[in-house]
Amino acid sequence: MWPEVDAVKSENRRELKLAGANVSKRIVENGGNLDDAIYQLSALNLLDVSDTALEKISPRIDALNHLQSLLLYRNKIAQLPATIGQLGELKVLDLSGNRLTKINLKGNPLKDKRLLKLVDQCRSKQVLDYVEKNGYVPPKTAPKQEADENQSNGTQESSTSVPEEDIQLKIVVHKATENTPKVTFTQEARANRPHILLCIVRNFPLTNMKKFLQLQNALHDNECGRRELATIATHDLAKIKGSIRYHAAPPGEIQITALGAAAQGKVTAEKYYADLCHQADLLRKEKKRNTYSGVHKYITLLTCKELFAFLSDEEKVISLPPLTNCDETKISSTCTDMLVEVTSSVGHGPCVRVMNALLERMLLMEVEVVGSTVPHASTNGNVSKPGEKKLKKSKAASKEPEIAKVCYNRSATLTVEQVQLYDGDGKLHSVFPGKGDLVGNETARIFVEMA
Residue-level pLDDT at 294: 65
Give the right CATH number for 3-102 from 3.40.50.300, 3.80.10.10, 2.130.10.30, 2.60.120.10.
Answer: 3.80.10.10
Sequence letter at residue 413: T
Greater confidence, 436 or 377? Answer: 436
Mean pLDDT, range 169-196, rounded to an integer: 94
Residue-level pLDDT at 166: 59
Per-residue pLDDT reduced to its tens digit, 354-410: 999 999 999 999 888 777 665 544 444 444 444 444 444 444 444 445 556 678 888
Per-residue pLDDT reduced to its tens digit, 411-425: 889 999 999 999 999
What count of residues does the chain have?
451
| Spatial distance between the Cα atoms of 395 and 312, rounded to a whole number of angstroms | 62
| Spatial distance between the Cα atoms of 249 and 267, rounded to a whole number of angstroms | 15
CB-based contacts of 229, cutoff 8 Å, min separation 6: 223, 344, 346, 350, 354
Residue-level pLDDT at 373: 63
Greater confidence, 403 or 144? Answer: 403
Residue-level pLDDT at 97: 84
Count CB neighbours of 321 within 10 A: 26
Torsion angle, alpha carbons of 118, 121, 95, 339, to 10: -90
Count CB neighbours of 161 within 10 A: 12
- What are the domain boundaries of the chain? 3-102, 169-250+311-369+410-450
CATH fold, domain 169-250+311-369+410-450, is Phenylalanyl-tRNA Synthetase; Chain B, domain 3 (3.50.40)
Distances in Å between the alpha carbon of 207 and those of 86, 88, 100, 177, 213?
31, 31, 14, 27, 12
Residue-level pLDDT at 375: 53
CB-based contacts of 290, cutoff 8 Å, min separation 6: 284
Residue-level pLDDT at 374: 54
Q: Is the pLDDT of residue 214 over 60?
A: yes
pLDDT tier, 39 (very low <50, low <70, confident <90, very high otherwise): very high
Per-residue pLDDT reduced to its tens digit, 239-261: 999 999 999 999 999 999 999 99
Q: Is residue 273 exposed (0-12), middle (13-18) or buried (19+ Cβ within 10 Å)?
A: buried
pLDDT tier, 144 (very low <50, low <70, confident <90, very high otherwise): very low
Per-residue pLDDT reduced to its tens digit, 70-127: 989 889 999 999 898 889 888 888 888 899 887 777 777 777 877 888 888 777 777 7
Contact 326, 258 (CB under 8 A): yes
Question: How confident is the prediction for the chain on average, in pLDDT?
Answer: 84
pTM of the entire predicted model: 0.59
| Spatial distance between the Cα atoms of 448 and 451, rounded to a whole number of angstroms | 10
Residue-level pLDDT at 383: 43
Contact 249, 267 (CB under 8 A): no
Per-residue pLDDT reduced to its tens digit, 286-315: 888 777 766 688 898 998 899 999 999 999
Share of the chain above pLDDT 70, in %: 84
Range with top average pLDDT, 121-125, 217-221, 280-284, 392-396: 217-221
Residue-level pLDDT at 189: 95
Residue-level pLDDT at 135: 58
Mean pLDDT, range 204-214, rounded to an integer: 90
Residue-level pLDDT at 255: 98
Query: Three-state SS across the chain?
Result: CCHHHHHHHHCCCCEEEEECHHHHHHHHHCCCCCCHHHHHCCCCCEEEEECCCCCCCCHHHHHCCCCCEEECCCCCCCCCCHHHHHCCCCCEEECCCCCCCCCCCCCCCCCCHHHHHHHHCCCHHHHHHHHHHHCCCCCCCCCHHHHHHHHHCCCCCCCCCCCHHHCCEEEEEECCCCCCCCEEECHHHHHHCCEEEEEEEECCCCCCHHHHHHHHHHHHHCCCCCCCCCEEEEEEHHHCCCCEEEEEECHHHCEECECCCCCCCCEEHHHHHHHHHHHHHHHHHHCCCCCCCHHHHHHHHHCCCCCEEEEECCCCEEEECCCEEECCCCCCCCCCCEEEEEEECCCHHHHHHHHHHHHHHHHHHHCCEEEEECCEECCCCCEECCCCCCCCCCCCCCCCCCCCEEEECCCEEEEEEEEEEECCCCCEEEEECCCCCCCCECCCCEEEEEC
Mean pLDDT, range 423-435, rounded to an integer: 93
Q: Is the pLDDT of residue 187 over 90?
A: yes
Q: Is the pLDDT of residue 235 over 60?
A: yes
